Structure 1
Amino acid sequence: MTKASSIASVSLAASETDPEGFARELGQSFERYGFAIIADHGIPADLIARAEEKAKAFFALPDAAKRAYHIPGGGGARGYTPFGIETAKGATEHDLKEFWHIGRALAEGHPFKAAMADNIWPSEVESFKTTFLELFAAFDKAGGRLLSAIARHLGLAPDFFEDTVRDGNSVMRLLHYPPVSPEASGVRAGAHEDINTITLLLGAEEAGLQLLDRDGEWLPVSPKEGELVVNIGDMLQRLTNNVLKSTSHRVVNPPPERRGHSRYSMPFFLHFRPDYLIETLPGCVSDERPNLYPEPITAHDFLMQRLREIKLV
């Protein structure tokens, strides 16, 4: 518990007043844990509350109404993914969750249209579309500020990541973990690493999220109300030759007194643009740290490879 409390809780506002200090503190937490906790992230509290209300309203719909928005063969990229489908890489039990995906809205004729599907929207929940497009934009802005600090930490120009994520294949997930029965054989989310560049998560105040520390110990991740949990994804791990590690994490089942309660959260998976070539940064390679990823790969090819592993395609 003591070690978990040392995961950096830093104010994103400090990135404006002390950009070097903020980047150093954030980078040190990422290098040690792969995670950080971010206060003053700029996503309005009233928008978060509105989004939580809309998500709960959708998940409360009858199963048949929700399943009408499931796209068979779509890999869960947009719309609804029912309970009992996603399975952590290497796991035998499916996760105990259902979710909804919202992606970037692209103009007609955009070159990334082939890789990024159109959004779909439920008609049953009023202002669902406007609320979540607004939240997507707010997540996107906060993510860009964090990437600027990560670039500083790596000794790169602060704007290094701007082009890498421009019109990137980012996805916002609305998650519902239903109440857990005593007979449940799986866990809410099995141990896994995220595929993307960085993940920004709202809603982790409800206990259950844990990270696997480098010492082999599972540590709770416990932000204060309204704070963001941010973690490194596999794409950034690969780009930085494991300087920034993508840490295994999971969502464990609640104690008996909380098993009758649902858990809701909203992660934003910030992605590189589909055609970005993930090629190890020269500054992250040395005699002591040889290149672990000598073969470059596009962000889209990497994503599809990983989606197959977790049984979404």
Structure 2
Amino acid sequence: MAGLKKLYEPYSTTPETTEKLDWAELVNLDLSTFDQPGGKKALAKQLKYAVHNVGFFYVSNFGLTQEEVDYQFSIGKKIFDLPLSEKKKYGADTKSFSYNGYTGPAVKHHTDRLKLCHLADNIPKFTSHFPGKVAHPPPVQQNWDTIERFAKTVHHNVIERLLVIFALVLELEDEQYFVKRHDYETRGEDHLRYMLYTARDEDVNRDAQELYSTGHTDLGSITLLFRQPVAGLQVLNNDGKYRWVKPVPGTITVNIADTLSLLSGRYFKSSIHRVSVPPPDQRHLDRLGVLFFIRPNNDVLVEVVKDSPLLKREGVYETLEERKDPLTVGTWVRERQKHIFKNVYDITDAGKGKEGQERDELEAEVAGIRIKYWN
């Protein structure tokens, strides 16, 4: 660990923006209270409004030191500092619509729409279902055991606790309902992502409508974004305006994604969000990220949870349409990824996408489920 710290200043020390931005008001869950008497029920009560109406929130006191988090950002920086020719050796198998491995300008699906500013290295779960460290660049291989400990700590300390809280929000008798469907050792398409948005020239930013990533929802159950100081993430509020998500020190930003929303009969809100060019005093900086994309196990059926007193009171069961054919998460994920690679990444007109301007809606049916993309 000392070697990386000598090479790079901790990313967390990058100065935050001093611009006066329109920040979103998000609830912050203190996970250190989870195991206290009545703690998890109190957290569920605190979170209920956010998961139904906002779709974004923070968690804090999640059992990792700032040094451990900074180290992961240092690994990410070492990955993206490699020559492109070296990174390309570990490219994701996009022909089979897989995200695992390196994706970036060398991969044809990252089109001019993103102006070649988005780089990522995705690491799946540390199980026998995946090829392991040989599929990833040297900085990952050299830190494989450290990354594995980090990933499994996040799964236990954050993901499993949030899954219990979600079950309590729905008032399920079995608080382990979602935990069982996100078992770590069972095949699933979760992944840890090191991601980089590179700073661009002002004319390129204008051509891209001042966006690094257009409005969208995420595919899986939840997404975790470790706090990084360069502002850019924005969430679409119920009033139709995008607001900035503040990088609060010592937190992880969490958002609900499409699959968990479907399992809850869309009671949980999968919020539309985007990544903007940073504010003026930060737009010269690269934006480095460490994220987790969490999905149910591949054999889980995409069906609404049964016997939720809350969903019954809300009338959710009365409006459901039964599927003719069962759909597993594994099939759903593959079909969504196929659609994203073939359609979303190939859209060259990003639309307006700015506050106060007309937004284009893109709708499609994937595996019999209606989905919506916002530009």
Classify the TM-score, shorter chain: 0.7 to 0.9
- Aligned partner of 2:180: which letter? D
Question: Aligned AA for 1:224?
Answer: V
Correspondence list, 1:227-266, <5 A: 227-266=251-290
Q: Aligned equivalents of 1:293 and 1:176: distance in 2?
A: 40
Structure 2 residue aligned with 1:298? 328
**1:93-132 pair list within 5 angstroms:** 93-94=113-114, 96-107=117-128, 113=129, 118=132, 120-123=135-138, 127-132=142-147
1:55 is the counterpart of 2:80: no
One-letter amino acid matched to 2:97? G
State the alpha-carbon separation in 1 of the partners of residues 132 and 322 from structure 2: 34
Shift of 1:206: 1.9
Say whether residues 1:308 and 2:323 are aligned partners: no
Q: CA 1:26/1:219 → structure 2, altered by over 3 Å: closer, same or farther?
A: same
The within-5 A match list for 1:267-286 is 267-282=291-306, 283=308, 284=311
CA contact (8 A) 1:76 1:101 kept: no
Is the partner of 2:138 in helix, strand or coil? coil
Give the counterpart letter for 2:175 in structure 1.
P
CA distance in 2, matches of 1:52, 1:126: 15
Alignment of 1:68-217 (within 5 A): 68-72=89-93, 73-83=95-105, 93-94=113-114, 96-107=117-128, 113=129, 118=132, 120-123=135-138, 127-141=142-156, 142-156=158-172, 157-166=174-183, 167=186, 168-184=188-204, 185-186=207-208, 187-217=211-241
Partners of 1:191 and 1:86 in 2: how far apart?
21
Q: Give 1:77's aligned amino acid.
A: Y
How far does residue 32 in structure 1 lie from its aligned partner after superposition? 1.9
1:218 is matched with which residue: 242, 250, 254?
242
Letter in 2 for 1:131: T
Counterpart of 2:33 in structure 1 is: 14
- Bigger shift: residues 193-202 or 249-258: 249-258
Number of residue pairs matched by the alignment: 304
- Asked if 1 retains the 8 angstrom alpha-carbon contact of 2:75 and 2:139, the reply is no
Report how far residue 44 of structure 1 moved. 2.8
Q: Which has the larger radius of gyration?
A: 2
Instruction: Give the letter aligned to residue 294 of structure 1.
Output: E
Superposed displacement of residue 292, structure 1: 4.2
Superposed displacement of residue 100, structure 1: 0.3
The equivalent of 1:110 in structure 2 is none
Q: Equivalents in 1 of 2:21, 2:279: separation in Å?
A: 21
Letter paired with 1:177: Y
Q: Is the 8 A contact 2:232 2:277 kept in 1?
A: yes
How far did 1:4 drift?
Answer: 4.6
Task: Call closer, same or farther: CA 1:149–1:179 in 2, change over 3 Å.
Answer: same
Note the aligned Cα RMSD (angstroms). 2.6
Q: Distance in 2 between matches of 1:176 and 1:238?
A: 30
Cα distance change, pair 148–30 in 1 and its aligned pair in 2 (3 A): same
Identify the range of structure 1 (155-164 vs 179-188) with the bigger mean alpha-carbon deviation: 179-188
Partner SS state of residue 254, structure 2:
strand
Specify the code of the residue in structure 2 equivalent to 1:127: Q
TM-score, structure 2 normalization: 0.74
Gaps of 5+ in 1: 108-112
Mapped contact 2:97–2:334 kept (Cα < 8 A): no
- AA aligned opposite 1:310: I
Q: Deviations over 1:268-299 (max 9, x none)?
A: 01111101012112333568433445225211
Q: Taking structure 1 as reference, are residues 127 and 14 closer, same or farther at Cα in structure 2, changes over 3 Å only?
A: same
CA distance in 2, matches of 1:124, 1:165: 28
Structure 1 residue 132: deviation in Å? 1.8
* Structure 1 pair 117–250 and aligned structure 2 pair: CA distance change class (3 A): farther
**1:36-55 deviation line (CA, Å, top 9, x unaligned):** 11111123322211111111
Contact 1:15–1:23 (CA<8 Å) still a contact in 2?
Answer: no
C-alpha deviation, 1:306, in angstroms: 1.1
Quick check: 1:83–1:97 contact (8 Å CA) kept in 2?
yes
Could you state the TM-score of these two structures normalised by the residue count of structure 1?
0.88
Q: Is the 8 A contact 1:201 1:228 kept in 2?
A: yes
Please state how far the C-alpha of 1:31 moved relative to its aligned partner: 1.4
Q: Secondary structure at the match of 1:280?
A: coil
